Amino acid sequence: MIFALCLLAPAAFAQQAADAVAPEAATGLAPEAPAPVTAQDWMVAAANPLAAEAGARVLREGGSAADAMVAVQAVLGLVEPQSSGLGGGAFLVWYDAATGALTTLDGRETAPMAATPTLFQVDGEPMGFFDAVVGGLSVGTPGTPLLMEEAHRRWGRANWGGLFDEAISLAEDGFAVSPRLATLIADDAERLSSSEATAAYFLPGGTPLAEGATLVNAAYAETLRAFARDGSDAFYSGPVAEGIVATIRGAAQPGVLTLDDLAAYDVVERPAVCAPYRGAEICGMGPPSSGALTVGQILALIEPYDIAALGPDDPQAWRLIGDASRLAFADRGRYMADSDFVPMPRLLDPGYLAERAALLAGDDALPEVTAGTPPWDHAALELADDTSLELPSTSHISIVDSAGNALSMTTTIENGFGSRLLAPGGFLLNNELTDFSFRTHSDGVPIANRVEPGKRPRSSMSPTIVMRDGAPVMVVGSPGGSRIIGYVAKTIVAHLDWGMDVQQAIALPHLVNRFGTYDLEEGTAAAALAEPLAALGYETNIRGLTSGLHAIAIAADGLTGGADPRREGVAIGE
C-alpha cells in the first residue's frame, strides 16, 4: 500500500518522510548513549585519542581539514598500526566550502604489474584466505602516502613538514600501547610471529606487548622525517621503497611488487557517486569501492517505504533494510569492481531501482535473492558472482574545519596487521590484494573482481558526505570489511529517519544482512529481534559487530560529533 502510494508520488513521499522525522530518539533498541560532542568552529573524529588530538591541534591553529587529516593519519599509523598507515591505501571524500564542489580521491592499492589472475591459486584452486594474507603475495602498491600529499597540495593551508611533528615525537619518545592494540597483538601472536621484524616489534622477547607498555618506533620517526622533508618521493623511491620491496621479496611467501610499481603509483581523482535519499544526497566513493553504490542502492530501495513511521524496534523496518541490503549485495557481487578495468552497468538508474524496490513489497524475507539486470551503456557483460572475503582492521576519519570544508576518509591496511610484514621504515604492509576474488571464473564465466595487473581490488569502504541543498549535513564512515556498508547505511537511517543524534545513531545496535544471514549485535537489544526476524524467514546469527563509526552532523547552529563506543575513538571540537 505504502509502496503503491510512493510510486505515484515519490518526491512528495520523500518530503513527507523527512517531515516525519521524530524530534526525540526512539527508545527500545536505542541504547543509552552519552551526549554527542558539540562545537561551533571545527571538529575531528578519529579512532584514537592521540590521533584525534594531533588533528585538533592543527585545526585549532587554523589548519584545514586536509592538514588535520595528514596529522591524524601520521599518528594513526603509529598508535593504531593494525588498522592503517603508510603501507596501506585510503579513499577520501572532500567538500570544498569555497567552491561548493564535492570530489573524491582514490588512494587504493594497486596490483603489481607482474600479478596474474591466478595470483591466489595453487594448482588451479583458490588458496586458503590466511595462507594468501600472510606474506608478500597480498601486498598491493600503497596509496596512502601519495593521497596525504595530494590532499595537502590541493587543500592544505599549513606547512607540510610541521604536520608530522606530533607523530615524530610520539614515535621517538614512545606512546602507551592501547587496550585494543594489546588485545589484538595477543590474539594474533601466531601470525605476527611469521616474520622476524614484525615479531621483534610486537612480541619483544616473544611476549605480546602489554596494555600501557611504552612503544618506541625510531624507524617510523625516521621515515616521517624524510616524508616531511622530501614529500612522497621519500616513500616511493630511495631507501624506504627499497626496504618495502626487499621485505616483500624476502618474505616466506614472497610477492611480486617492484620498485617500478612504487614509482608508477598514482592517486586518481574521481567524481563522487551520489544517491538521493529523503531529500538529501548520499555521496561517497565510487569504483573501485563498492561503498557508495551499495549504500546508495540500499537507501534507494527502502526510500519508498515509511521507515520513519516503523521505527527501529519494528522487525518490518529491519526486513526492509535487510532485504534491500541483500539485493544490493547481490549486484555488488556480480557487477562491482575497478571500473577502469571492467565496464559496469548503471546501478543507480532510477527505473531499475524502482523495479528492485518493488520486490520488497511483501511481508516476509525474500526466499531467494539474485543480482538484477540493470541497464548498460556498454554491451551487457556476462559476469559471475564473486565470493571474496574481507576481515577486520581499517579506520575512519571525519573532519570539518573552521572554513566549512568537510573530509571523510576511510583508511586501511585491510586485515588486522595487514600482511604481517613490517617494512624497515617502521610501518606494516597491507594485504589489500586479498580483496580481489581468488577465482577468475565461475563455471567458465569471468568474475569482475578478478586479479589483473595494475587493477585496484574492490573495496567496501564507504567514506560518505550527506549533502542537502548543496551543503554538507553529515560526514560518516566506518571500518568493518563488507559490513561497513551496513554500518554506514544504518547510521544514516538512524539519523535521517529516526531522528537520532549522531552519537545515538552510531551506538544503535547493528543488524547487518549481506548475503542472507541476519547478523545481530551480541550483547545488545538487537538480540531480542532474533525471534521475530526468524519468524519472517531469516537465519539469524548473534555475534560481535565491531564497527568504528565516526560521524559529524553539520547544522546551522553548529557541529555535533560522535565516536563509536565499540572502539577507542573520540570526537574533539571547539
Catalytic residues: 394
Taking the complex as a whole, the smallest distance from the CB of residue 323 to ligand DON amounts, in Å, to 22
Q: What single letter denotes the amino acid at residue 39? A: A
Least CB distance to ligand DON at residue 420 (A): 15
Strands 43-46 and 570-573, sheet pairing: antiparallel
Nearer to ligand DON, 17 or 293 (CB): 293
Cβ nearer to ligand DON, comparing 405 with 431: 431
Secondary structure element (H or E) that encloses residue 467, with its range: strand 464-468
Helix (H, G, I), strand (E, B) or coil at 103: strand
Q: Residue 476: beta bridge partners?
A: 464, 551
CA distances from 61 to 64, 158, 211, 366 (A): 9, 9, 32, 54
Cα dihedral angle (190, 195, 200, 206), rounded to 10 degrees? 30
Shortest distance in whole angstroms from residue 392 CB to ligand DON: 4
Give the pairing of strands 441-442 and 445-446. Answer: antiparallel
Task: Kindly state the smallest distance separating residue 101's Cβ from ligand DON, in Å.
Answer: 25
| Cis bond before residue 446 (omega within 30° of 0) | no
Alpha carbon distance 271, 347 (integer Å)? 15
**Rounded to the nearest whole angstrom, what is the least distance from the CB of residue 442 to ligand DON in the complex?**
21
Nearer to ligand DON, 319 or 334 (CB): 334
Q: Is 68 exposed, middle or buried (0-12, 13-18, 19+ CB in 10 A)?
A: buried
Strand residue runs (E) in 49-206: 89-95, 102-107, 121-122, 125-126, 175-176
- Other CB atoms within a 10 A radius of the CB of residue 14 amount to 18
Q: Which three cell numbers stand for residue 108?
A: 587504493
Q: Which long-range contacts (CB under 8 A, 24 or more apart) does 239-243 make?
A: 239/424, 239/425, 240/423, 240/424, 240/425, 243/423, 243/424, 243/425
Pairing of strands 445-446, 464-468: unpaired
User: What is the C-alpha separation between 304 and 296, in angstroms, rounded?
Assistant: 14
Which is closer to ligand DON, CB of 126 or CB of 392?
Answer: 392
Q: Counting Cβ atoms within 10 Å, is residue 133 exposed (0-12), middle (13-18) or buried (19+)?
A: buried
Q: Which is nearer to ligand DON, 402 or 459 (CB)?
A: 459
In angstroms, what CA-CA distances link 374 with 118, 311, 345, 354, 366?
29, 31, 6, 11, 19
Please say which residue, 59 or 330, places its beta carbon nearer to ligand DON: 330
Nearer to ligand DON, 180 or 278 (CB): 180
Nearer to ligand DON, 85 or 479 (CB): 479
- What's the closest the beta carbon of residue 145 comes to ligand DON, in angstroms? 17
Q: Give 423's Cβ-side CA count (13 Å radius).
A: 29
Provide the edge-to-edge strand list for the sheet that holds 406-412.
268-271, 102-107, 89-95, 406-412, 395-400, 43-46, 570-573
Residue in the structure block whose three cell numbers are 577465482: 439
**Minimum distance of ligand DON from residue 477's CB (angstroms):** 10
Of the pair 25, 192, the CB lying nearest ligand DON is at 192
Q: Which is nearer to ligand DON, 178 or 560 (CB)?
A: 178
Report in angstroms how near the CB of residue 560 gets to ligand DON at its nearest: 25
CB of 495 to ligand DON, least distance (A): 21
- Environment class of 24 (CB within 10 Å of its CB; exposed 0-12, middle 13-18, buried 19+): exposed
* List of residues contacting ligand DON (CB under 6 A): 390, 392-394, 412, 414, 432, 435, 459-461, 479-481, 484
Q: Find the shortest distance in angstroms from Cβ 132 to ligand DON.
A: 13
* Integer Cα distance of 202 and 210 in angstroms: 10
